[in-house]
A = this chain, B = another copy of it.
Amino acid sequence: MINSLKTRRTIRKYSDKEVSEELINSLLADAFRASNNGNMQTYSVVVTRSHEKKEKLAPLHFNQPCFKNAPVVLTFCADFRRFSQWCEASGAVPGYNKFLSFFSAATDALLVAQTFAVAAEDAGLGLCYLGTTNYNADGIIDALELPQLVFPITTITLGWPAETPAQPDRLDPQGLIHRETYKDVDVKALYAPKEALPEMQAFVKENGKPSLAHVFTDVRYTKANNEFFSDALLKAIKRQGFIF
């Protein structure tokens, strides 16, 4: 049993203690043991430590404090470039520039990222995933100089924890598990315990909204932003040479 899975929470504040290159390399080597499509290993990881690169990346991650504060940042990329280059170097003709290739390589990258995350947290490190990677992929591509067929999928900020926040709530697992076929659940009942949490009620009040759901739809993840960043994401994927 991996106890760190049960006790985990996202960590956004890190101590000054260094995260050694040896530790990162060792955790990544373990992560690369994760399942991947056809053992093609269609992923790459870009490690950011320099002040200069962090300054470039910070606004792309909306200057989130966890980003500025982190000693190490890892950007996990879908990468069909290396494999395609190897095919070409062997005189074979690769055809890995379609949406399926993008999605398959993204899957590889996410399985590696999460294996890394589980291993890092078990080693006592704290981390935070940055969904902003999908919002500003175009700028991240420039900052990390990602060439054709390489695409930033997710980012992890990493360091030794300097906080112990409360564990966030989760929905009743039974509301997310379906047997044999998908069946709609009673959403009112499933979300009632979340809505009743004092911190959620405070959150609704702060935002001056009629319900927690409204905070999501009207403030945190609006339709207009969703449309804007969706188009930007599609454009960036095409820019990197993947065809739809």
Residues in A lying within 8 Å of B, measured CB to CB: 1-2, 5-6, 8, 10, 25, 28-35, 37-41, 43-50, 53, 77, 79, 81-83, 85-87, 89-96, 98-101, 103-104, 106-107, 110-111, 113-115, 117-119, 122-123, 128-129, 131, 134, 144-147, 150, 153-154, 168-171, 173-182, 184-185, 187-188, 190-191, 210-214, 216-218, 220-224, 226-227, 229-230, 233-234, 243-244
Measured in the bound complex, the distance between the Cα atoms of B185 and A240 in whole Å is: 18
Evaluate whether A150 and B182 lie within 8 angstroms (CB atoms) in the complex, with A28-B177, A90-B212, A93-B217 already known.
yes
Q: Are A89 and B188 in contact (CB under 8 A)?
A: yes
Q: Which residue of B lies closest to A90 (CB)?
A: B213
Q: In the complex, how many angstroms separate the beta carbon of A158 from the nearest chain B beta carbon?
A: 13
Taking a contact as CB atoms under 8 Å apart, the answer to whether A146 and B182 are in contact is yes
Q: A28-B176, A44-B178, A103-B134 are in contact. List 18 more A-B contacts (CB 8 A).
A: A2-B122, A8-B33, A10-B35, A29-B173, A33-B170, A41-B170, A46-B181, A77-B182, A87-B217, A89-B188, A94-B213, A95-B224, A98-B227, A99-B234, A110-B111, A111-B113, A146-B182, A234-B244
Known A8-B33, A32-B173, A178-B47: A100·B213 in contact at CB below 8 Å = no
The smallest C-beta distance from A182 to any residue of chain B, in angstroms, reads 5
- Going nearest first, the 10 A-B pairs with the smallest beta carbon separation are A95-B223, A90-B213, A100-B230, A98-B230, A92-B213, A114-B114, A110-B110, A86-B187, A90-B211, A92-B217
The docked-state distance in angstroms from the alpha carbon of A10 to that of B87 is 25
B47 lies within 8 A of A177 (CB): yes
17 contacts between A and B (CB under 8 A): A2-B118, A34-B117, A39-B169, A47-B178, A82-B185, A86-B191, A87-B216, A87-B217, A89-B213, A91-B210, A92-B218, A98-B227, A107-B134, A118-B118, A144-B180, A150-B182, A244-B244
> In the assembly, what is the distance between CA of A111 and CA of B106, in Å?
12
Contact yes or no, A221 B134, CB < 8 A = no
Q: How far is the CB of A106 from chain B (nearest CB, A)?
A: 8
